[in-house]
Amino acid sequence: MLDFLRTRLAQGTRTSAFPGEAPEFPERFRGRPTLDGARCPGTCRECQAAMPSSLLVVAPDGRASLDVGACLFSPEEATACPHGAISFTADARLSARDRPGLVSETGELPAIEALGRRMQQLFGRSLRLRSVAAGSCNGCEAELVALGNVVFDMARFGIQFVASPRHADGLVITGAVSRNMRDALYRTYEAIPDPRMVIAVGACAINGGPFRDSPEVGNGVPPDLPVDLWIAGCPPHPLTVLDGLLRLLGQLDGQSAPAPKA
């Protein structure tokens, strides 16, 4: 018993100060990618050949933009541009309410609009989620599990993962949606009572991630599942997921958003 008390005292309280204080990330942390139009000559196209993901979207007129949802957050995506126009910021806010919201010319993402009044009344202070991994590497799931530890402690915001879809208010989908998980994914969605929400977490769920165009996967969440929140990352940092969820629920608004420290 004494050992137990001594250990408890030594361990202390470790819960993250987020969202009250801005999170701190190490210097090499790769957050939201950004495209500096001034550095991009717009004609060389070298990045297209060197880009290991679908991060870069080039319009027919040659104008480049970034699809943050497709970003694999690998160092090579930045070095693909020989002019240094693409780089990673320390910004861990990587969510959008709709798929086009993840694509922009600079990598900037629009502010997240909170759920409508009725949905906020229902779920704003108590949200139960069901997780389904469907053709993933288990990286995103590992970060979802981490949200339950004493550091991130998602339950303090009234958000919890539950065992049964019948007890859930929403579905969190990770993975590129493998052929073998497609049925189970739909059946889980159907088992969640209405009104329900769908949250796509990670590059795989958004567009197939590193497995994009493999014949065994469906390049992410099927279009007929209505996604309410897209959270980019490979995998997203737990605070990225938490930030997206809190903004969706209206617990954290754009104005009071703490700026990240590098």
Partner 1 sequence: MTAFDGLGLRNRRAIPFAALPMEAVPRFRDIVCQAVRDGWRIVAFFGLPATADRIQLVAILAQDERGQLGGLTTLAQGSYPALTPECPEAHLFEREIAEQCGIVPEGHPWLKPVRRHPPDEAGGHVPGDMVNREEYPFFQIHGDEVHEVAVGPVHAGIIEPGHFRFQAHGEEVLFLEIMLGYQHRGVERLLETRRWPDAVLIAESIAGDTVIAHASAACGAIEALARSRKTPRGQTIRGIALELERLANHIGDLGAIAGDIAYQPAAAYFGRMRGECLNLLMTLSGNRYGRGLIRPGGALFDIPSAMAGEMRARLEVLADELRPVGHLLLKNASVQARLEGVGAVSRAQCLELGLVGVAARACQVPRDVRHDHPYGVFRFAHIPVATAWAGDVLARTLVRWLEVQRSLEFVIEQVGALPKGAAQVPCGALRPGELAVALEEGWRGEVAHIVITDDAGNVRRHKVVDASFHNWSALAVAMPGNQISDFPLCNKSFNLSYAGHDL
Contact with partner 1 (CB under 8 A): which of 62, 149, 155, 166? Answer: 149
- Cβ pair 134, 174 in contact under 8 A: yes
Q: Say whether residue 54 binds partner 1 (CB under 8 A).
A: no
**81 makes contact with partner 1 (CB under 8 A):** no
Choose, by CB under 8 A, the member of 234, 241, 246, 249 that binds partner 1: 234
Q: Look at the chain and count its residues.
A: 262
Stretch that binds partner 1, among 21-29, 35-43, 57-65, 252-260 (CB under 8 A): 21-29
| Shortest separation between residue 50's beta carbon and partner 1, angstroms | 9
Distances in whole angstroms, Cα of residue 139 to Cα of each of 58, 59, 142, 222: 29, 32, 5, 21
Residue 78 near residue 40 (C-beta atoms within 8 A): no
Q: Which residues inside 95-114 make contact with partner 1, applying CB under 8 A?
A: none
Phi-psi region of 179 (alpha: psi -120 to 50; beta: other; left: phi over 0): alpha
Residue closer to partner 1 (CB basis): 67 or 143:
143
CA distances from 178 to 140, 141, 204 (A): 15, 16, 10
86 binds partner 1, rule: CB under 8 A: no
Per-residue interface string for the shown chain with partner 1, residues 188-217, x marking contact by CB under 8 A: x--------------------xxx--xxxx
Inter-residue contact 86 to 76 (CB < 8 Å): no
The H or E element containing residue 183 is helix 182-191
Nearest to 244 by CA among 257, 229, 226: 229
Which residue's entry shows tokens 């997921």? 241
Q: Which stretch binds partner 1 (CB under 8 A): 35-43, 94-102, 117-125, 135-143?
A: 135-143
Nearer to partner 1, 108 or 213 (CB): 213
CA distance 70 to 212: 9
The interface region with partner 1, picked from 40-48, 100-108, 125-133, 249-257 by CB under 8 A, is: 125-133
**Binding window for partner 1 (CB under 8 A); candidates: 112-120, 144-152, 220-228, 247-255:** 144-152
Pick 76 or 253: Cβ nearer partner 1? 76
Q: How does DSSP classify residue 110?
A: P
Question: 169 to 188, contacts with partner 1 by CB under 8 A?
Answer: 175-176, 178-181, 184, 188
| Helix/strand number for the chain, H first, E second | 8, 11
Binding partner 1 (rule: CB under 8 A), the pick from 69, 139, 170, 244 is: 139
Question: What is the rounded end-to-end Cα distance, in angstroms, of the chain?
Answer: 42
Contacts with partner 1, residue ranges (CB under 8 A): 3-4, 6-8, 10-11, 14, 25-26, 28-30, 52-53, 72-76, 88, 130-146, 149-151, 161, 163-165, 175-176, 178-181, 184, 188, 209-211, 214-217, 234-235, 237
